[in-house]
């Protein structure tokens, strides 16, 4: 029995079915939301030394990737021992079998590999030394498709069953072994994909199973839990949600009651670059900007974030820095040229060209005046402000927040100082140096980094300010699991009959990422841990 029909659950179930077992999948949401978060995802996958990288002249290796992983994860707890083993196994998977396995399932990749989390703290600091973010051709839905197809085959064969509107609330134990799941039958719901569905209880259920795999995801849609687990307290007062409300984490305490050890709850991966969705699907629906490096990044009071906190370099570092100001919002200040070239929006629905595998639409992205999702944000997004001068922009920034924190003279001074650095042809500004270096990489030059120019150059205007909010997304901690995805108890012993995968298991080991992620590692973590859970559960029954 698999609890949670997101990517990790579907992979685990497909694996167990392929191993000849009967599988039941439970999910609290209606069928419309099958696939969970992965449907909404951008489909970015961390791969190491791939043909796509090599074609772009990137020289990567498993050794380099593992060094980057450790430098970013910063593992520093005794309970990280298994997470380190998971990390080594996962990087090996990403450098080896992963691409061929996905290709055999019909999952293709967009050829232009992207460079997320660039770091900037020196050779042994956080970040990807080289670009590793491979976008699935067809984004999240195309990654889900082969697993759904396999399971539908199982449904037709009478060996797989889906049970939607089944909300698990507890595990049943018989003679020390997990022997089933109990929970609530929720009333039927017409909620569309990703929309919040009712929690009205229409009845109860109890279901027996020889093995139970928990794949109920993280806690990002449950701001109360996010606040409670926020490291050192001090979560922002207002946050956007980068995930549907179904990512509520409500089942995890029940698993803990049945003996499963929950670890690293304070490690979370939220983003400082959230914007309000102009057409929200779920409560507080925010979209993350995946930024290129050229915008000035200012805190709420208009001060530049210090190097290397340029857009796209260090998500957690930027988040921590912004929150030290006592305000949760920050600003990108840029111009229209930079926005059009450098702002990617995370999510399948924000990338209809890649999601729909539409090459013509993809090409139109770079044509000015196209009706792109970004243009819709420029036209309708409440966070997007435009003006001809820095002083005009400062006025609008203050009007939007009502806080009067932006000093027009100071903003003008910052913008002019950046423009002087550009005009010098060389310059001492590390951000400009990083922009010029990025343009040596083909993907950046073609589609992610605008040629340096003066921010106030009217040919590239108007000037823009984008208000950024904290956006909740991933839980990095979760159920402590061994390499067979068996859930461990507080003494480190497997709880018989219980397995976990995906975000509910910290993507493996209760926290494969440690404190920081290299990106594209969440979907991949669901694939890897889901496969291992499905295999091990099949062997155990």
Ligand X SMILES: Cc1cc2nc3c(=O)[nH]c(=O)nc-3n(C[C@H](O)[C@H](O)[C@H](O)COP(=O)(O)OP(=O)(O)OC[C@H]3O[C@@H](n4cnc5c(N)ncnc54)[C@H](O)[C@@H]3O)c2cc1C
Nearest distance in Å: CB 307, ligand X: 26
Give the residue with the Cβ less far from ligand X, 352 or 461. Answer: 352
Q: Of the candidates 248, 196, 250, which has an alpha carbon nearest to the alpha carbon of residue 222? A: 248
**What angle is formed at CA 432 by the lines to CA 327 and CA 337, rounded to 5 degrees?**
80
Nearest distance in Å: CB 40, ligand X: 4
Give the residue with the Cβ less far from ligand X, 259 or 347. Answer: 347
Nearest distance in Å: CB 359, ligand X: 20
Nearest distance in Å: CB 293, ligand X: 19
Report yes or no: 28 and 246 within 8 Å, Cβ to Cβ. yes
Gyration radius from the chain CA atoms: 23
Measured distance CA(253)–CA(261) in Å, rounded: 10
Q: HSE on the CB side for 272, CA within 13 Å?
A: 27
Give the residue with the Cβ less far from ligand X, 44 or 259. Answer: 44
Give the residue with the Cβ less far from ligand X, 335 or 521. Answer: 521
Q: Of the candidates 474, 521, 500, 511, which has an alpha carbon nearest to the alpha carbon of residue 222? A: 474
Tokens of 265: 């709850």
Give the residue with the Cβ less far from ligand X, 179 or 521. Answer: 521
Give the residue with the Cβ less far from ligand X, 117 or 299. Answer: 117
Q: Any bridge partners for residue 330, and if so which?
A: 299, 468
**Chain residues that interact with ligand X, rule: CB under 6 A:** 3-9, 26-29, 36-38, 40-44, 167-168, 215-217, 242-243, 246-247, 250-251, 346-347, 474, 502-504, 520-524, 526
Q: What sections of 284-335 are H helices per DSSP?
A: 315-324
Nearest distance in Å: CB 204, ligand X: 13
Where b means 16+ CB within 10 Å and e means fewer, 394-425 reads beebbebeeeebbebeebbebbeebeebbeee
Nearest distance in Å: CB 194, ligand X: 9
Q: Of the candidates 350, 327, 474, which has an alpha carbon nearest to the alpha carbon of residue 403? A: 327
Nearest distance in Å: CB 27, ligand X: 4
**What angle is formed at CA 311 by the lines to CA 125 and CA 347, rounded to 5 degrees?**
105
Give the residue with the Cβ less far from ligand X, 482 or 519. Answer: 519
Report yes or no: 275 and 464 within 8 Å, Cβ to Cβ. no
Q: Which residues contact 402 (CB under 8 A, 6 or more apart)?
A: none
Measured distance CA(217)–CA(339) in Å, rounded: 33
CB 391: neighbour CB atoms within 10 A? 13
Report yes or no: 422 and 453 within 8 Å, Cβ to Cβ. yes
Q: Which residues contact 293 (CB under 8 A, 6 or more apart)?
A: 118, 310, 311, 312, 313, 342, 431, 434, 435, 438, 449
Nearest distance in Å: CB 207, ligand X: 11
Nearest distance in Å: CB 99, ligand X: 15
Q: Which residues contact 315 (CB under 8 A, 6 or more apart)?
A: 117, 269, 271, 272, 273, 516, 517
Element (H, E) at 486: strand 486-488
Give the residue with the Cβ less far from ligand X, 99 or 167. Answer: 167
Nearest distance in Å: CB 283, ligand X: 14
Give the residue with the Cβ less far from ligand X, 42 or 331. Answer: 42
Q: HSE on the CB side for 279, CA within 13 Å?
A: 7
Nearest distance in Å: CB 199, ligand X: 11
Give the residue with the Cβ less far from ligand X, 110 or 522. Answer: 522
Give the residue with the Cβ less far from ligand X, 59 or 206. Answer: 206
Nearest distance in Å: CB 368, ligand X: 27
Q: Which residues contact 233 (CB under 8 A, 6 or more apart)?
A: none
Give the residue with the Cβ less far from ligand X, 21 or 513. Answer: 513
**What angle is formed at CA 66 by the lines to CA 45 and CA 316, rounded to 5 degrees?**
65
Give the residue with the Cβ less far from ligand X, 280 or 462. Answer: 280
Q: Which residue is nearest to ligand X (CB)?
A: 6
Nearest distance in Å: CB 472, ligand X: 10
């Amino acid at each position: 029995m698999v609890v949670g029909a997101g990517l990790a659950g579907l992979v685990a179930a497909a694996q167990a079915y392929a191993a000849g077992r009967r599988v039941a999948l439970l999910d609290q949401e209606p069928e419309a939301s099958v696939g969970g978060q992965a449907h909404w995802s951008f489909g970015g996958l961390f791969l190491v030394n791939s043909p796509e990288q090599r074609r772009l002249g990137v020289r990567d290796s498993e050794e380099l990737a593992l060094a980057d992983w450790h430098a970013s994860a910063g593992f520093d707890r005794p309970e990280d021992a298994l997470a380190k083993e998971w990390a080594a196994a996962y990087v090996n998977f990403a450098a080896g079998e992963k691409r061929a396995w996905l290709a055999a399932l019909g999952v293709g990749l967009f050829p232009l590999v992207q460079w997320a989390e660039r770091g900037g703290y020196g050779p042994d600091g956080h970040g990807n030394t080289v670009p590793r973010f491979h976008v699935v051709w067809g984004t999240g839905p195309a990654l889900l498709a082969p697993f759904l197809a396999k399971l539908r085959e199982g449904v037709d064969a009478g060996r797989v069953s889906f049970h939607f509107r089944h909300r698990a609330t507890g595990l049943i134990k018989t003679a020390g072994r997990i022997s089933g799941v109990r929970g609530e039958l929720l009333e039927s719901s017409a909620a569309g994909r990703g929309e919040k569905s009712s929690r009205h209880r229409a009845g109860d259920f109890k279901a027996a199973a020889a093995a139970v795999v928990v794949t109920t995801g993280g806690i990002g849609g449950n701001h109360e839990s996010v606040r409670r687990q926020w490291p050192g307290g001090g979560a922002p007062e207002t946050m956007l949600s980068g995930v549907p409300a179904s990512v509520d984490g409500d089942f995890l305490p029940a698993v803990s009651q049945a003996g499963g050890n929950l670890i690293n709850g304070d490690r979370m991966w939220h983003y400082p670059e959230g914007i309000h969705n102009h057409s929200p699907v779920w409560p507080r629906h925010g979209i993350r900007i995946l930024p290129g490096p050229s915008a000035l990044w200012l805190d709420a009071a208009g001060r530049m974030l210090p190097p290397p906190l340029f857009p796209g370099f260090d998500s957690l570092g930027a988040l921590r820095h912004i929150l030290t100001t006592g305000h949760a919002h920050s600003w990108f200040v840029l111009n229209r040229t930079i926005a059009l070239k450098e702002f990617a929006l995370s999510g399948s629905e924000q990338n209809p060209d890649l999601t729909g595998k539409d090459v013509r639409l993809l090409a139109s992205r770079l044509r000015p005046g196209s009706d792109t999702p970004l243009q819709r944000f420029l036209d309708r997004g409440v966070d997007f402000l435009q003006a001809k001068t820095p002083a005009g922009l400062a006025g609008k920034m203050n009007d939007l927040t009502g806080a009067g924190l932006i000093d027009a003279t100071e903003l003008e001074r910052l913008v002019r100082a950046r423009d002087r650095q550009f005009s010098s042809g060389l310059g001492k500004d590390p951000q400009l140096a990083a922009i010029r270096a990025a343009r040596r990489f083909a993907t950046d030059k073609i589609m992610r980094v605008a040629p340096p120019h003066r921010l106030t150059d009217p040919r590239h205007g108007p000037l823009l300010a984008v208000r950024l909010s904290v956006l909740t997304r991933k839980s990095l901690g979760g159920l402590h699991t061994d390499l067979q995805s068996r859930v461990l108890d507080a003494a480190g012993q497997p709880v018989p009959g219980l397995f976990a995968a995906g975000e509910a298991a910290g993507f493996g080991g209760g926290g494969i990422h440690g404190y920081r992620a290299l990106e594209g590692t969440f979907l991949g973590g669901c694939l890897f841990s889901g496969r291992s859970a499905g295999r091990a559960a099949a062997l155990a029954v």
